[in-house]
Amino acid sequence: MQNIKETIIPLLKEESSTIIKGENGITTITFYRGDKEQASKVIRSRFKEIVNGNTWLVGRLIKNGKHKNIQLAYPSAPISDDVIDRIFFDSPANIKIGSETAYEELFKSAKPAIVEKGGKLINKQGLVSRLTLVPDMHSGGKGFALIFSISHVVADGYTYYKIFNQLFTDKSVESLEVKRKQDAADRVTEIVGKKSFKFFHSAPFILNLVGGAIFGKKTKSYGFYIEPERINKVKTQIKENSGSGVDYISTNDILSSSFAKVTNSRICIMAVNLRSWIKDIRNDDAGNYAGGLLFDNHTSYHPVNIRKSFQAELPVPANAKPLPKFWEALRCKLGLISSWADFQESHDLEKCEQLFHIPLYDAKNAFPLDSAVVFKAKPDQLAVIYFTKTVEREKFLSHCEVGDSISSRTFH
């Protein structure tokens, strides 16, 4: 790789942060029933096309005295098969997984397919993406899993799916703009507010997270399909209540509210895509252009209040009362919810049946606070995984708009 002429660009300040550098690559696993050998040929060919249109996917992370931020070094097209072989793997012998593998074990078994933490890639030869196909050992030879991973240092959930979605279409490859827009990213306070941004980066808030990681209970993972009837019931109640002040609430408003309540969160952090808010950040801009809205319990416990916040002027008024002071911030209950559903498109493969698609996290170490990720586990089925230290499965079923388990063997 050193003999190839590379373009080197600085990444965003946020992408050089300790938090981002300490996270594993954003990763999903999708199980299929069908012919793996035929699927592998199609996927490898398409992946090569995508990489040639987005050569930063075979980039390296570097750090030197030329810039205070981490930098991304990537080659120009065309990308050779030898380089593709460094990020595409078919049936590696060191990965044994199946569609009935328990979630925590699934992450451990898939670890060789997951891009390392950003800090471990700096000034090393590891590349920032990886695509792996493996047999589903529980399918009787009739199924397989597709694991795709991108370093969180170079991609947020939106960027991840802008690449991943292209695997399943024969449309012209979309080349994302990889050069970062630091000035635009710095405008995050216009959306989340200066006080919230300061609180999010404050010492007591960070110490609260550290305490949760070190002293908190073991994190449990529960994956459910969203129950449409329960969602529609809440929406109908709001629509029929003329005094609510809103004539519409979203599914995300409802799920965020029930999650905040069931976890008793003083502050519920909602991840938002800045591309929806800051016009200088375009839909084809790759990178970590995300922010966090800090909803207090007065706002988050009511989906109507969440909707009213989004309908108000910027910055989004997510907290109706003052943010916690030092001592409360050290100890208060925090929650985090993010949604990938709007980013997802079809993950269908020809002549294959998609069983389910889920994000892969190191649940034991990745979540120092109760968290939820909303996504599409099947083309037309919303789902959520709750990562929690404090709430039991039955309470989610009774208090949140969820129903069947995504997989009774994976989540139990």
pLDDT tens-digit series, residues 378-394: 999 999 999 999 999 99
Q: What is the pLDDT of residues 348-361, one digit of tens each?
A: 999 999 999 999 99
Query: Do residue 113 and residue 261 come from a single domain?
Result: no
What pLDDT does residue 3 have?
Answer: 61
Q: Which of 180, 201, 218 is the last residue of a domain?
A: 180
Query: Do residue 211 and residue 80 come from a single domain?
Result: no
Query: Do residue 18 and residue 109 come from a single domain?
Result: yes
What pLDDT does residue 1 have?
Answer: 44
Query: Does the pLDDT at position 104 exceed 70?
Result: yes
Query: Do residue 239 and residue 166 come from a single domain?
Result: no
Task: Name the pLDDT band for 240 (thresholds 50, 70, 90).
Answer: confident
Averaged over 154-176, what is the pLDDT?
Answer: 98
Across the chain, mean pLDDT equals: 96
Residues paired with residue 149 on neighbouring β-strands, in sequence order: 27, 130
Query: Does the pLDDT at position 366 exceed 90?
Result: no
Domain membership flag for residue 1: no
Q: What is the pLDDT of residues 5-18, one digit of tens each?
A: 899 999 999 999 99
Query: Do residue 218 and residue 293 come from a single domain?
Result: yes
- What span, in angstroms and rounded, lies between the C-alpha atoms of 114 and 108? 10
Domain membership flag for residue 135: yes
Query: Do residue 187 and residue 171 come from a single domain?
Result: no
SS3 (DSSP) at 245: coil
Q: How many domains would you assign to the chain?
A: 2
Query: Do residue 12 and residue 38 come from a single domain?
Result: yes
Q: What is the pLDDT of residues 20-70, one digit of tens each?
A: 999 999 999 999 999 999 999 999 999 999 999 999 999 999 999 889 999
- What span, in angstroms and rounded, lies between the C-alpha atoms of 175 and 159? 11
Residue 314 burial class via C-beta count within 10 angstroms: exposed 0-12, middle 13-18, buried 19 and up: exposed
What pLDDT does residue 241 have?
Answer: 84
Instruction: Identify the domain containing residue 208 by its residue range.
Output: 183-405
Query: Do residue 215 and residue 292 come from a single domain?
Result: yes
Angle of the 251-262 helix axis to the 303-311 helix axis, nearest 10: 130
Domain membership flag for residue 412: no
What pLDDT does residue 244 have?
Answer: 80
Q: What is the DSSP string of 272-300?
A: EEGGGT-TTS-TTB-S--EEEEEEEHHHH
Query: Do residue 169 and residue 245 come from a single domain?
Result: no
Q: Are 363 and 105 contacting, i.e. CB atoms less than 8 angstroms apart?
A: no
> Which pTM value belongs to this model?
0.96
Q: Which of 180, 195, 230 is the last residue of a domain?
A: 180
Averaged over 191-200, what is the pLDDT?
Answer: 96
Query: Do residue 240 and residue 388 come from a single domain?
Result: yes
Q: How many CB atoms are located within 10 Å of the residue 351 CB?
A: 11
Query: Do residue 147 and residue 193 come from a single domain?
Result: no
Q: What is the DSSP string of 171-230?
A: SPPPPPB-S--HHHHGGGHHHH-HHHHHHHTSHHHHHHHHHHHHHSPPPEEEEEEE-HHH
CATH of the domain at 70: 3.30.559.10
Query: Do residue 99 and residue 231 come from a single domain?
Result: no
Domain membership flag for residue 411: no
| Distance set, CA 266 to CA 66, 230, 309 (Å) | 42, 25, 17
Q: What is the pLDDT of residues 290-318, one digit of tens each?
A: 999 999 999 999 999 999 999 999 999 99
- What span, in angstroms and rounded, lies between the C-alpha atoms of 276 and 287? 14
Query: Does the pLDDT at position 128 exceed 60?
Result: yes
Domain membership flag for residue 69: yes
Q: Which of 122, 155, 180 is the last residue of a domain?
A: 180
Domain membership flag for residue 112: yes
> DSSP strand E in 85-171: where?
88-90, 129-135, 143-150
- Tokens standing for residue 73: 């070094």
Domain membership flag for residue 130: yes
Amino acid at position 184, single letter: A
Domain membership flag for residue 47: yes
**Residue matched to tokens 């030092």:** 326
